[in-house]
Amino acid sequence: MARVFVTHELPFPALERLRAAHDVDVWPKPAPPPPEELRLRAAHADALLTMLTDRVDDELLAAAPAVRAVANLAVGTDNVDLEAARRRGVQVGNTPDVLTAATADLAMALLLASARGLTAGEARVRSGDWGPWQPAEDLGADLDGATLGIVGLGRIGQAVSDRASAFGLRVVHRSRSSGLPLGDVLERSDFVSLHAPLTPDTRHIIDADALRRMRPTAHLVNTARGGLVDQRALAQALQAGEIAGAALDVTDPEPLPPDDPLLRAPNLIVVPHIGSATRRTRARMADLAVDNLLAALAGRPMPHAAT
């Protein structure tokens, strides 16, 4: 029986499967374990079940020589030093495919909310600032006949494209192997939705120059990774009216400090990284993470390996 450290309580049946086979230690607090606590718990573990908030780097793996498997409860692995894991013979797994529909649904929800100013309108109602109907008030952007630029046409980007067609949006895209140059996508689009992985090449792919290439009537949606966007440049662009609005499910860092200048920008929607937050999706993610650990601890390759 191996020892597994789980960095967050998972209220799903999958964790009981893991407990039935191994000795499971679960971090008991809502906030992620601080780095020193993560090192301490990992030092006594044979495997880890981690979240995106947990940094699994070479230093952590050096402090945990018995660890031979890391299951990340996410489609991405940018919190894990994959090269360090390879050098140490540590299997790393993720949870691909299962969150495609949920994240694509949220991207469309954010696009619609930004286009029609839903959060600002709802706030006015709650504050009592809902006056008589005005024909030129609360005007938003039409989707039918508009152009959606998708940056990163992987599974989620394609799912967003499929949904966008139902709203009458024309789609252009930029990905690693196809599509238009990024500048052309930005210049042609009424809405831009980000679905690229975070890599050294894509960090701050939406910077001040990219924002200036967007239309002043355009809206930016990000449900991928916060690091794709230069948030200082985004705040300045919104303040200056260089783009019409932005809707973010992801930020850098997460959580975003309440005094972050970005939160003072107008026409901005920020939600707390809920792209995969449906009951079915999160339960399935837990299933895949546990499948990865059970296989690795039995000496088999992970079925959803990231390395």
Active site residues: 225, 254, 273
The residue behind tokens 């001040």 is 208
Q: How far apart are CA 21 and CA 23, in angstroms?
A: 7
DSSP letter assigned to residue 305:
B
Token pair of 273, please?
A: 């990284």
Beta bridge partners of 67: none
Cα dist. 69→33, 61, 73, 85, 271 in Å? 19, 10, 13, 9, 32
Cα-based angle 271, 272, 273 (whole degrees, multiple of 5): 105
Q: What is the DSSP letter of 263?
A: G
CB 196 within 8 A of CB 190: no
Q: How many CB atoms lie within 10 A of CB 19?
A: 14
Note every long-range contact of 199-205, with CB atoms under 8 Å and residues 24 or more positions apart, other chains counting.
Answer: 202/227, 202/228, 203/227, 203/228, 204/228, 204/229, 204/230, 204/233, 205/151, 205/229
Helices 100-116 and 118-127: crossing angle in degrees, nearest 10, is: 60
